Amino acid sequence: MTYFRVASAYAARHQERITSRELADQAGVTAFLVRKDLGHLKDPDLDLDLELGTRGAGYDVNQLKERLSERLGLTTPWHVAIVGMGRLGRAIADYPSLIDYNFTVRAGFDIDPAASAGTTSVAVHPMSDLGHIVAKEQITIAFLTVPAEVAQEVAGRLGEAGVRGILNFTPTVINPPSGVHVESVDFMAGLKRLSYFLHAPGADDKPGSSR
Amino acid sequence: MTYFRVASAYAARHQERITSRELADQAGVTAFLVRKDLGHLKDPDLDLDLELGTRGAGYDVNQLKERLSERLGLTTPWHVAIVGMGRLGRAIADYPSLIDYNFTVRAGFDIDPAASAGTTSVAVHPMSDLGHIVAKEQITIAFLTVPAEVAQEVAGRLGEAGVRGILNFTPTVINPPSGVHVESVDFMAGLKRLSYFLHAPGADDKPGSSR
DNA sequence: AGGTGTGAATTAATTCACAGCA
DNA sequence: TGCTGTGAATTAATTCACACCT
């Protein structure tokens, strides 16, 4: 996960190789751990022709990226919809990293499609078209950027529309409709973590007991 | 962390009490674990007058919130600045949950302050005023919403300006200036987690080996 | 020398079982 | 009876040490 981010950064700088220690420093963990985790990458294949990294010199950055992509499911392209085209939704619609990782925004939805006309490059549809467009554009993932009050309800409608995954940007805990996987991106969580570290007397550097 | 979110949700619905099992279901963990974690809350005090939750009936929601606030450092108000007033920065500036958690946005910064004039309620300053304003407004936390290419450089300048914590919204790994704690809010991380679960054959429900 | 792969040892996190209070 | 608090047992995650390739 984080490894992929680091590997991408190295690739962007045209570095060919990376050692476990470098990866570890960048990812904020120990080098032993990196090697253990990376060892798991080759398990699903079950063929023992490994040598993912070369002894002596580190790992091949591009090969590493490729393997991580496979594991994370980033090799097949995903179609996503953004539900709630407020400022946040529109900002995310043009987020440059999306295309890098094989996600394409196929549609936006809003109760008032006219309000965002001309401000973004994606087509914005009214909520009533949800089921229709999701099927037509083969959308599997939805970004939930609606006001917190309606998040749970909209999530339900997304489930009915046939969406398989929801990325929740609201500060609400939403319990997943059946057959739908929900992940949350909570600004507040990161912010709380930050204030925890700045405030705490014995501020450890490790994630610690912050559940 | 997540517990706080759940407790807040209960408080909003005017529920007075919550059991460990309810908390567990909402937070996606087991009830044993909730009780263990909550047990750690009273350690720093070292007084044994506990009874944080009452046996027989669950925990008092408001008391729980209060204790969690203390632990997370949410009792003292934080002054934050938003650096990079693009669409994302402006969207975050008016994010309603910020005030709920005692964070107040005191200033925005951008290379072109004029561009965002009139679109947001916070005062936007040029980057050159950084040190001055940070000191004047007693800003301890900065939100980094600049383009990824300049993120590392701006982070350095924030450190020099006296900021103690950075919440990084860019998809870059930035290594912290000395004395500064960095937390990242990465949309992509959540998205990758999502695609991992939707793609994986044996999609466990646990976080799993996704580092 | 420099750096990976992996089994054994250590350490931490989770679960379980049950005592104790409302 | 219902639900918390906590020590013991289990399980998973991290670290360490060292063989082995380049």
Footprint of strand C on the protein (CB under 7 A): A 19-21, 31-32, 35-36, 38-39, 50-59, 208-209, 211; B 29-30, 32-33, 36, 54-57
Nucleotides of C under 7 A from a protein CB: 1-7, 13-17, 20-22
Chain-chain contact of A87 with B91 (C-beta, under 8 angstroms): yes
Give me the residue from B3, B90, B185 closest to A211, CB to CB: B3
Q: pLDDT tens, B83-94?
A: 999 999 999 998
H/E stretch holding A162 reads none
Tell me the torsion sign for CA atoms A162, A165, A167, A171: positive
Q: pLDDT tens, B186-211?
A: 888 889 889 988 886 554 444 444 56
Q: pLDDT tens, B17-57?
A: 999 999 999 888 999 999 999 888 765 544 444 566 788 78
Nucleotides of D under 7 A from a protein CB: 1-7, 13-17, 20-22
> How close does chain B come to A121, measured CA to CA in Å?
14
Q: Quick one: pLDDT at residue B210?
A: 56
Provide residues 41-100 of A with CB closer than 7 Å to any strand D atom: 51, 54-56
The structure's pTM equals: 0.88
Considering only A44-53, A116-125, B121-130, B180-189, which range has the smallest mean pLDDT?
A44-53
CA–CA separation, B191 and A183 (whole Å)? 8
**Residues near B53 by beta carbon (within 8 Å), at least 6 away in sequence:** B20, B38, B59, B60, B64
Q: How much is the mean pLDDT over chain B?
A: 88
pLDDT-based confidence at residue B175 (cuts at 50, 70, 90):
confident
> How close does chain A come to B195, measured CA to CA in Å?
6
**Chain A: residue whose CA lies nearest to B33:** A211
> Tokens 């962390």 label which residue?
B1
Q: Which one-letter DSSP state was computed for residue A17?
A: E
pLDDT-based confidence at residue A47 (cuts at 50, 70, 90):
very low
Q: Quick one: pLDDT at residue B18?
A: 95
pLDDT-based confidence at residue A46 (cuts at 50, 70, 90):
very low
- Report how far apart, in Å, the C-alpha atoms of B152 and of each of A94, A101, B157, B175, B187 are: 21, 22, 9, 7, 18
Mean pLDDT, residues B138-166 taken together: 97
Mean pLDDT, residues B55-73 taken together: 88
CA–CA separation, A12 and A31 (whole Å)? 22
CB B131 within 8 A of CB B160: yes
CA–CA separation, B136 and B118 (whole Å)? 23
Residue B163 has pLDDT above 90, yes or no: yes
Q: Quick one: pLDDT at residue B51?
A: 62
pLDDT-based confidence at residue B118 (cuts at 50, 70, 90):
confident
- Nearest residue by alpha-carbon distance to C1' of D15: A32
Residue A34 has pLDDT above 80, yes or no: yes
CA–CA separation, B120 and A105 (whole Å)? 27
Residue B197's CB: how many other CB atoms inside 10 A? 19
CA–CA separation, A131 and A135 (whole Å)? 6
CA–CA separation, B139 and B167 (whole Å)? 13
**Of B35 and B118, more confident:** B35
Q: Quick one: pLDDT at residue B34?
A: 95
Tell me what percent of the residues of chain B surpass a pLDDT of 90: 60
pLDDT-based confidence at residue B177 (cuts at 50, 70, 90):
very high
CA–CA separation, A5 and B74 (whole Å)? 30
Chain-chain contact of A26 with B92 (C-beta, under 8 angstroms): no
Q: Quick one: pLDDT at residue B160?
A: 97
Residue A97 has pLDDT above 90, yes or no: no
Q: Quick one: pLDDT at residue B110?
A: 97
CA B41 and chain centroid, separation? 19
CA A184 and chain centroid, separation? 9
Q: How much is the mean pLDDT over chain A?
A: 88
Q: Quick one: pLDDT at residue B128?
A: 97
Tell me the torsion sign for CA atoms A117, A118, A119, A122: positive
Q: Which one-letter DSSP state was computed for residue A177?
A: P
Tell me what percent of the residues of chain A surpass a pLDDT of 90: 59
Q: Quick one: pLDDT at residue A211?
A: 63
